[in-house]
Structures are given as structure tokens and as C-alpha cells.
Structure 1
Amino acid sequence: MRLPDLDPTDLTDAQRELRERILGGPRGDGPQHFPLATPDGALTGPFQVLLHEPSLGAPLQELGSAVRYATGLSDRVREIAILSVAAATDSAFEQWAHARVGRAAGLHDTELAALADGRFTSLDATEQAAYGFCRRLLEDTSHVDDEVYARLREDLGTTTITELVVLVGYYRTLAQLLDVFDVGVPDEQR
């Protein structure tokens, strides 16, 4: 990583508050499918980057928490969308972390491999429509014309469309942060 790990004992008040919100919020509750912190207490993945800039990191982690825990997306649809972003952006950390979350959400190894390869299909109409929409958002020509929008509104509804647009934007931002600051899969997890 291009940024130093931040020792929990050396944090500013704003960094300490952000760290506590990340570890003590919904991400820290319930089953942990990937570690949020290393054994020495440094945060993993994008959270370590966010901790370096708490004025941006705090609202960004709040958005991420809302995307993960406060939408109407099913767990499977949410993870299909996140893994679509991970594949399109070649984000090793997001692929590694959310393959574990996706498996817990009911995605099978063949589905996870198909998502990683950009060739996912589902017999579930909502899952397929959500995947197709996310892939469209991740393309260079992501424009949604009236015909496409009408089909999406019929297949997904406006709430799900909004949730997916925000999810893709959020995880694309994380993928860019992970890339710029060279954050990969934690060494002890390789």
C-alpha cells in the first residue's frame, strides 16, 4: 500500500471516531466474512485509505453503510452488483472480500466465477436485470435512453434503479481508491 498503516494508538480524534464507526457499525456487527482490521489493529482495504482523510472518509463510509445495509436490494442482488464492479474495475480486494460475502448470500462458486469473468446469467429476472443494468453502467457508453429506462423501470422499479446507480458509483470509487493507493488482498489472506 502506498499509504502507511495507521496505528490505532496514533490516530487523531477524527480518525479514531471514524475507525470506531467502521468497526462498531453494521460492518462490525454480525458475521465477518473478511477481516476489517489486521491483527495489529490497522484497518484493511478501502477503510485504511478512508481513515487517512476522515473528512471525506466519514461521509463515504456512511454512504457505503447505507448501500450495504439500508437498501431494499436482496443480499444476492447486492453482491451480484458489487462483484460486477469488482470485475469491471479489476479490483482484487473487492473481488476477494465480496466473493466471501456473496457466498454467504447464496452465490455458488460457478456464479462467482461467472461474475469474475463478466458472463453471469440468472434464471431470476430481477437478478438478471440488475446484472445487465450494472454492466451497462460500467461501460464507456453507459447512457440510458428512454427505451432502456422504460424497460428497467418495468423490470426493477425506480427505487432499485436508484439503489444500483448509487451502489455502482460507490464501489467504483472504492475500486479507484484501492487502485491509486495500491491496496490489494491482505498478505495473511493470500
Structure 2
Amino acid sequence: MTSRLPDFHIADATDEQKAVLQEILSGPRGNLNGPFLGWIHSPELAQHAQRLGAFCRYKTGLPLRLSELAILVTAAHWRSQAEWHIHYPIALDAGVPAHVADALREGRAPAFDNDDDALIHGFATELHESKRVSDETYGRAVGRFGHVVVVNLVGLLGYYSLVAMTLNAFGMRAQGQTELPFAEMKA
């Protein structure tokens, strides 16, 4: 599948687009891999979304391992080829066990050695699948991480759902991606 959006060339970018791209490239990401070249067709959306993304990825109050686990749960839920491709190695480097990540990709329930990992997985899975979080799971999450971090976790899950939706709707792939982690849906 090729991207459904028109090709974007930085040389043809508007001043608004250039400003967004410069902010992304000079920020903690340092690259345009992901949904950014899709969003850039709407520079105002791109600016708001990339700033929200920088917060959700780097400032939630969760350790990187738990943030990346939540992102993998979201990528697997949406079967987002590029999101998984980008975040799988980051998650492994952050300490998410390969057997956990692989189970998520394969649609199996992971076996967790870490209670925090199990809690993040349970919270994210409940929210994605049932569109709600049980009182028990919510209480455990707030008891462990506090209200602010749980609010930020919900924001992270929502943001990476937006990323996955963008990548899926427009048929976008990650830079250098040659293999797909999920079977493609037949058109």
C-alpha cells in the first residue's frame, strides 16, 4: 500500500509548514518518521498534534518502559504497521520484554513478570476494547501512579490512537519499513 496523500516536498512547503517541520526536527524526536508528513497537509493540526505528542511521549510521568508498552498495546489494537515498526525497537531498548511485545503483536495475552507492566497493559486494553476502565483497574492505577499520571496515560493512549488512525487511514509506512508486523486487510 502506498500513501493516499499527495507527495510532500519540503522545497514546496508553506511558511506554516516549514515552522512545524522545524519545531519537530529541533525537538526531542529529531526526525519526521511517523504521522508528521501526513499531518503537514494541515499545518495547524500538525502543530497542535506534534506538541501534544512530545508531551505524551516524554512527559507523562511514566517511566519510558511503561509509556512504550502503552504505545505497543495501542499499535497492536489498531494493527498500525508504522507505529509498531517505529516503537517496537524503542520499547525493547526501554526494557519491555520481547516475549511481551511479541504476544501483543500476535494478539495473545502476555505473561508479565512486572506488576506495573501488567497494570498498564490491563488499563490500556480495557480502555481500547471496552471503551471504559473498570473501577478496580482505575483504582489500582490511581493508587500506583496518582491522578495526574493516569490522566496523562489516557492522553498518551488517545494520542497514539490518533497516530495509528492517521497512519492507517492514509496508508503510511515508517521510513525504511520493508516488512509488515500485521497481516494487511484486504481492500
What is the TM-score with the length of structure 2 in the denominator? 0.86
Kindly indicate whether residue 133 of structure 2 is the aligned counterpart of residue 144 of structure 1: yes
2:65 to 76, 97, 105: 76
Structure with the larger RCO, 1 or 2 (CA within 8 Å, 6+ apart)? 2
Structure 2: distance between partners of 1:86 and 1:96: 9
Name the SS of the counterpart of 1:102 in structure 2: helix
Report how far residue 179 of structure 1 moved. Answer: 1.2
5 Å matches for 1:2-21? Answer: 2-21=4-23
**Aligned 8 A contact 1:50 1:56 in 2:** yes
Report how far residue 110 of structure 1 moved. Answer: 1.9
Percent of paired sites with the same residue: 37
Paired residues, number: 175
Question: Could you report, residue by residue, the CA deviation over 1:83-112 in whole angstroms, capped at 9, with x for unpaired residues?
Answer: 000000000000000002112212232222
Moved over 4 A (4+): none
1:155 to 120, 144, 147: 144
**Aligned 8 A contact 1:83 1:99 in 2:** yes
Report how far residue 122 of structure 1 moved. Answer: 2.1
Alpha-carbon distance change, 25 to 147 in structure 1, aligned in 2, over 3 angstroms: same
Structure 1: distance between partners of 2:72 and 2:111: 13
Structure 2: distance between partners of 1:148 and 1:106: 23
1:170 to 156, 159, 166: 159
Structure 2: distance between partners of 1:52 and 1:2: 12
Partner of 2:182: none
Report how far residue 165 of structure 1 moved. Answer: 0.4
Structure 2: distance between partners of 1:134 and 1:58: 26
Structure 2: distance between partners of 1:107 and 1:185: 21
Identify unmatched segments of 5+ residues in structure 2.
179-187
**Aligned 8 A contact 2:126 2:134 in 1:** no
**Aligned 8 A contact 1:129 1:156 in 2:** no
**Aligned 8 A contact 1:126 1:156 in 2:** no
What is the TM-score with the length of structure 1 in the denominator? 0.85
Identify unmatched segments of 5+ residues in structure 1.
29-35, 37-42
